[in-house]
Structure 1
């Protein structure tokens, strides 16, 4: 495993890499048609979940100094609600974007210092037990990714796909 500059990220680095793996395995075999289906008109569709996952990756990258901008930001920024009137990007395009942003964010996670992680990052939450710092924002993004991977995994089962396989790709370094 790569060693981050900050020991504070010892748990974040494996989680980030694990989420990359889970994300791809949860999407394995999902068709473009199924990726835009909703359950009884009550759920988000998989494309929305994937876009929201990517929004988290871009948010982490931005707070760590990356200038990359999410091409589909207008669809997904800050968990923007699903809009059935929009024509969402394809699952294939979103997966390609995942492979573009993820290694860049991963590298930034390896390079960030304790001082940078401790910087204030106002989120407007105003919760006494939750310091609004760069580190805690990254932790929130990681938590959201975990949630979205679970949602995608559930949707794959609802649509009749096999359960997720845990065939980790040892060559995927992000």
Structure 2
């Protein structure tokens, strides 16, 4: 396993890599047609969920100093509500973006220092027991990724796909 500069980030590294694997696994075999289906017009579709997941990776990269922007930021930034009249990217396009940004964010996670993680990063949550730092934001991003994978996993079953597998591709090192 890669060794991060920050001791505070050591728990994040395996979780980040597991989320990479989970994202790939949860989308495995989903058709582009099914990825746009909603349940009783009440749920987001898988495209929106996957797009929000990828957007979280771009957001995390930005907080860690990457100078790159999500090409679909206008559709997904801060969990922007699904808009039925918008043209969403395909799953293939989102997966391409995911594989472009994820290794860059992983490298930044390895390079970030404790001092950088302790920097104030105001999220606007206004919760007295949550100190808004870059480290807090990293944790919030991972929590959001967990949530989105769970939502996509549920949609898999509703759309009659088999449950997500937990196989690991050891060639993916981010």
TM-score by structure 2 length? 0.99
Q: Which runs of 5+ in 1 are unaligned?
A: none
**Cα displacement (A) at 1:127:** 1.2
User: Secondary structure of the equivalent of 1:82?
Assistant: coil
* Aligned twin of 2:123: 123
Paired positions, count: 174
User: Secondary structure of the equivalent of 2:119?
Assistant: coil
Question: Residues of 2 paired with 1:33 and 1:116: CA distance?
Answer: 43
Superposition misfits of 4+ residues, deviation over 3 angstroms: none
Cα RMSD over matched residues? Answer: 0.6
* Aligned twin of 1:96: 96
**Cα displacement (A) at 1:125:** 1.4
* Aligned twin of 2:139: 139
User: Secondary structure of the equivalent of 2:15?
Assistant: helix
Which whole-Å deviations, capped at 9, do the CAs of 1:127-156 have from their partners, x for residues lacking one? 111000000011000100000001011101
Q: How does 1:52-131 map to 2 (within 5 A)?
A: 52-131=52-131
Q: Is residue 3 of structure 1 aligned with residue 3 of structure 2?
A: yes
Q: How does 1:143-162 map to 2 (within 5 A)?
A: 143-162=143-162
User: Secondary structure of the equivalent of 1:123?
Assistant: coil
